[in-house]
Structure formats: C-alpha cells, structure tokens
C-alpha cells in the first residue's frame, strides 16, 4: 500500500516540536525566619528598657516572641486594635528589638546581646579600699559604700576590719582632734547606717585606734 507522505510529514513535525517543561513546584517555606538586617545605631539601654514600661508594647513584643509574624496575628493575640498594635510595633522597630524581614515580624535577639555586652563593658571595676588583703577588701565592699558605713558587721573579726578602715580614712596619725571634730567626722560615716557616731567613737577608743585625753583625740602612728 502506498505511504501517505503528507501524513508522515505532519507526524514528524509533531514529534520534532519541543515539549514545554512542566511547571516547577513552589519552593517550600523555610523553617527559619530570615534574620533582620544588622543595626549600626548606638546601644540605648534606658530607651530599650523603657519600651516595656508601656503595656501595649510589652504585649506586642510578647506576641512576636511567641510567633506572630503579621499585624493581623499580633492584634489577634494581644486583643489590641490595629492602630494600637501599629503604634507599638513602630516604637519596637525604632528601638531595634523587632524587625520585619522576608518572613514577617521577628525579634532581633542580637540587639539584646548588644545591650548585655554594653552593660558588661560599662560596669565599673570593683572599688578598691587599699587594704592590700583580698579578704579585707571583700568585707569592706560589703559594709562600706561610697565612703559611708552600711552597717557594722556582727562578726567581730569583720568588725575590726571595718573599724580600722574608718580610723585610717578619717584621722591622720599624730594629729590632735577636739571631740566636736571627731563627732562631725564620724557622723558623716553614719548617715545611712543603723549606728551612731558615739558608738563608733567608743569602738575606736576601746580598740586603741584613737587615744583620748581631756576631750582631745589622737590617732597613734601605728594603730592596733
């Protein structure tokens, strides 16, 4: 039987036509929320802490911590109106503790790490009292603050350390002080302490940190 050439050519042309690729499936959503862009603003500890003094901002922040990524989810979880939630979010974003990335709202945990690092770096070194003894330094840091007595220790050995420190910081060796001057100087130590200057003066005399004679006090060159 003769071959139908036109039919063969049509069949060949259909076979040669390129097949359109199948549509690719959309990428699966990432399990991780995208990290917000790094901030370069200086750390504002007071401003960040102050954010959470207002209830609506605290509630919005908590909602984002718990997974809310959109304004609608925030309003649903907090019970705030869209206007209230928007205002709170704006303040939180301005302070850098919340950002909005490809996956929606997210907490900027790096901001809190910056704050913690800033606090550590700005923390002043422990005050030195010049005793030359770490154990005595520990006692003085506990019972003396900013040149004031917090309280007298109940333990006698610690009390001796504190009283010696007060004598050395208050009176020059060999200098004679009238009782009124002694009282004034010791009263300054007692401003915030549950002990009065008379008690301190009596301790200093009994321990020979001060010698008393006819209403005049003198610290010996080598106090006990």
* Number of other CB atoms surrounding residue 110 within 10 Å: 15
More reliable by pLDDT, 145 or 122: 145
26 part of a folded domain: no
pTM of the model: 0.44
pLDDT bin (cut points 50, 70, 90) of residue 180 is very high
The boundaries of the domain holding residue 102 are: 45-122
Mean pLDDT, residues 167-192: 93
166, pLDDT greater than 80: yes
Model pLDDT for residues 32-90, shown as the tens digit of each residue: 444 454 444 555 777 888 889 899 999 999 999 999 999 999 999 999 999 999 999 99
Model pLDDT for residues 88-131, shown as the tens digit of each residue: 999 999 989 999 999 999 999 998 888 888 777 665 555 556 55
Dihedrals φ, ψ of 65, to 5°?
Answer: -55, -40
Boundary of a domain, candidates 93, 122, 151: 122
Whole-angstrom Cα distance, residue 150 to residue 152?
7
Q: How many structural domains comprise the chain?
A: 2
24 part of a folded domain: no
Whole-angstrom Cα distance, residue 171 to residue 134?
23
Whole-angstrom Cα distance, residue 85 to residue 100?
14
| CATH code for the domain of 79 | 1.10.10.10
- With DSSP H G I counted as helix, E B as strand and the rest as coil, what are the percentages for the chain, rounded to 5? 50, 10, 40
11 part of a folded domain: no
69 part of a folded domain: yes
- Mean pLDDT across the chain, nearest whole number? 81
Can you tell me whether residue 96 is helix, strand or coil? coil
Same-domain pairing of 140 and 208: yes
Same-domain pairing of 49 and 118: yes
Whole-angstrom Cα distance, residue 65 to residue 112?
13
Same-domain pairing of 138 and 181: yes
Boundary of a domain, candidates 102, 122, 142: 122
40 part of a folded domain: no
Same-domain pairing of 144 and 96: no
């Amino acid at each position: 039987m003769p071959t139908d050439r036109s039919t063969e050519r049509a069949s060949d042309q259909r076979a040669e036509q390129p097949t359109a690729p199948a549509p690719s499936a959309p990428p699966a959503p990432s399990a991780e929320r995208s990290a917000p862009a790094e901030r370069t603003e200086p750390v504002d500890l007071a401003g960040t802490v102050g954010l959470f003094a207002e209830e609506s901002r605290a509630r919005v922040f908590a909602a984002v911590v718990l997974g809310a990524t959109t304004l609608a989810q925030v309003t649903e979880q907090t019970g705030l109106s869209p206007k209230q939630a928007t205002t709170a979010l704006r303040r939180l974003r301005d302070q850098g503790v919340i950002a909005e990335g490809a996956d929606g709202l997210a907490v900027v945990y790096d901001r809190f790490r910056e704050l913690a690092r800033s606090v550590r770096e700005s923390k002043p070194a422990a005050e030195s009292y010049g005793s030359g003894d770490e154990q005595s330094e520990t006692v003085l840091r506990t019972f003396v603050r900013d040149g004031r007595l917090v309280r007298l220790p109940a333990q006698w050995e610690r009390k001796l350390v504190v009283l010696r420190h007060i004598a050395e910081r208050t009176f020059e060796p060999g200098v004679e002080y009238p009782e009124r001057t002694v009282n004034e100087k010791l009263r300054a130590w007692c401003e915030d302490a549950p002990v009065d200057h008379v008690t301190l003066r009596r301790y200093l005399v009994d321990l020979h940190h001060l010698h008393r004679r006819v209403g005049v006090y003198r610290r010996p060159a080598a106090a006990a």
